[in-house]
Amino acid sequence: AQSVTQLGSHVSVSEGALVLLRCNYSSSVPPYLFWYVQYPNQGLQLLLKYTSAATLVKGINGFEAEFKKSETSFHLTKPSAHMSDAAEYFCAVRAMDSSYKLIFGSGTRLLVRP
């Protein structure tokens, strides 16, 4: 069975500080991994995805994530937080069954302090 675990339901950083949101996956087959962002009262928007082409994936809004097989991790980073980054972030792995559904982590709410 596949799953993802997001460590930390809430992360608080100062504006301009490094953002690090953690995601670990469990998968018996090579995983396809995604990060989505959800702003208040909105749907989910894709930040980036890992599809085995490159281990360092760059996404929108200055975010990037690195796939590390040895650590079963796909952590999301951004060098300098902006106030507009405050949102909820979800890591997900693609299921390898007939649905190809996304299996989501429980989410991490990012707070950015001025």
Partner 1 sequence: TAGITQAPTSQILAAGRSMTLRCTQDMRHNAMYWYRQDLGLGLRLIHYSNTAGTTGKGEVPDGYSVSRANTDDFPLTLASAVPSQTSVYFCASSVTGRVTDTQYFGPGTRLTVL
Could you list the residues that contact partner 1 (CB under 8 A)? 9, 32, 34, 36, 41-46, 49, 51, 90, 92, 94, 96, 98-102, 104-107
Q: Which is nearer to partner 1, 18 or 46 (CB)?
A: 46
Q: Between residues 12 and 51, which has the closer beta carbon with respect to partner 1?
A: 51
Over the Cα atoms of the chain, what is R_g?
14
- Between 41 and 70, name the residue whose CB sits nearer to partner 1: 41
Q: Is the dihedral of CA 41, 45, 47, 49 positive or negative?
A: positive
CB of 76 to partner 1, least distance (A): 15
DSSP 22-69: EEEEE-SS---EEEEEE-TTS-EEEEEEE-SS-SEEE-GGG-EEEEET
Nearest distance from residue 9's CB to partner 1, in Å? 7
